[in-house]
Amino acid sequence: MSGFWAMGDYAAYVWPAYGISAAGLLIAAALVLRAHARAKAALARLGAKP
Amino acid sequence: MLRYANPARFMTLSGTLVPWLGGIALVALAAGLYLSFAAPPDYQQGDTVRVMFIHVPAAWTAMMVYGLMALASLIGLVQRHPLADVAAKSAAPLGALFTALGLITGSLWGRPMWGTWWVWDGRLTSFLLLLFLYLGYIALWNAIEDETRAARAAAILALVGAVNLPIIEFSVDWWTTLHQGESILRKGGPLIASVYLWPLGLMALGYTLLFFTLWLLRIRTEIMTRRARSLMLAGEA
């Protein structure tokens, strides 16, 4: 590894920090959106508007 | 403010706000991410300075969320407004996530710069306590079946735990610590160069707006779930 990806020999710290943050935020967003869509669908099945 | 605390009004308003907040959050995060890696390595910290652009926004957001959760809890306790309880409850898992991200990125920054993953000093310990407050708050909600009683107990915990916020804030002044002091929101202006201030500011904006987007969505989900439940109960009766 060289240049950009080496992060001046700090790759082992910089990339996991970004990776874990991105994964955490993306998973949270996906779960929140899925729960919202499910609740909306459940209400629609009952014939009510959200 | 309380005019919008009516669930029907809240659903209309939040439905309009969510796409905008989410959209601006994504733009801010994309621009912030680009600038985070376009910035030159710091002359002392090298490339580890890039961890700051995700560590500081996570930690700021974690504390802001707790403040909002405590405020909503207070309104729930005093005004007995159910929407306030829902707002507080919906904020907690998001706050716990930002706190965990603050701790993990801090640890990954501390190892190369301080030579240790962790130290039991004032700032780190009080921030770990913030995570436990969030987890305790969530556990309390889950432990009490009656929703009104759960909301009251959780609100009291949230308010007592709010004492921790100024402790986190001033811990770097009160006690000896490896953690640096306030270098951005200080009297006399920020201590860091604008080439680092821009990515930091954009990421902070992105994290904050992402939280508000997810928070509104979680409140909406809870309102819709409760409505569906009461409709089903009414149908059975």
- The ipTM is 0.93
Residue B45 to residue A6: CA distance in whole angstroms: 15
pLDDT of residue B75: 96
Domain limits for position B104: 21-37+48-176+195-231
* CA distances to A39, B90, B105 from A43, in Å: 6, 19, 40
Residue type, B140: L
- Identify which has the larger pLDDT, B16 or A4: B16
| Mean of all residue pLDDT scores within chain A | 91
The total number of structural domains in chain B stands at 1
CB-nearest to A43 from B48, B210, B227 is B227
Report whether pLDDT(B217) > 60. Answer: yes
Instruction: For chain B, give the longest Cα–Cα distance.
Output: 71
Report whether pLDDT(B206) > 90. Answer: yes
Q: Is residue B151 part of a domain?
A: yes
Q: How much of chain B exceeds pLDDT 70, in percent?
A: 97
Note whether A40 contacts B225, CB cutoff 8 Å: no
Q: Is residue B12 part of a domain?
A: no
- Give the up-direction half-sphere exposure of residue B60: CA atoms within 13 A in the CB hemisphere: 18
| B211–A contact, CB cutoff 8 A | no
Name the 3-class secondary structure at B177.
Answer: coil
Helices and strands (H and E) in chain A: how many: 1, 0
| Contacting residues for B212 by C-beta, under 8 A, at least 6 apart | B21, B25
Q: Are B95 and B66 in contact (CB under 8 A)?
A: yes
Q: Is residue B89 part of a domain?
A: yes
| pLDDT classification of A49: cutoffs 50, 70, 90 | low
Contacts of B105 in chain A (CB under 8 A): 17, 20-21
Q: Which two tokens stand for residue B134?
A: 């969030």
Cβ contacts below 8 Å, chain A against chain B, sum to: 91
Q: Is residue B157 part of a domain?
A: yes
Q: Is residue B1 part of a domain?
A: no
- Mean of pLDDT values over B25-45: 95
- Closest by Cα among B28, B36, B70 to B202: B28
pLDDT of residue B6: 81
Residue A25 to residue B152: CA distance in whole angstroms: 29
Q: Which two tokens stand for residue B130?
A: 């913030």
CB-nearest to A18 from B54, B225, B232 is B54
- Identify which has the larger pLDDT, B154 or B179: B154
Q: Is residue B13 part of a domain?
A: no
- Mean of pLDDT values over A14-34: 98
Q: Is residue B184 part of a domain?
A: no
Note whether A10 contacts B112, CB cutoff 8 Å: yes
Determine the distance from the C-alpha atom of residue B49 to the mean position of all C-alpha atoms in its chain, rounded to a whole number: 22
Report whether pLDDT(B209) > 90. Answer: yes
Q: Is residue B188 part of a domain?
A: no
- Mean of pLDDT values over B15-22: 97
| Mean of all residue pLDDT scores within chain B | 93
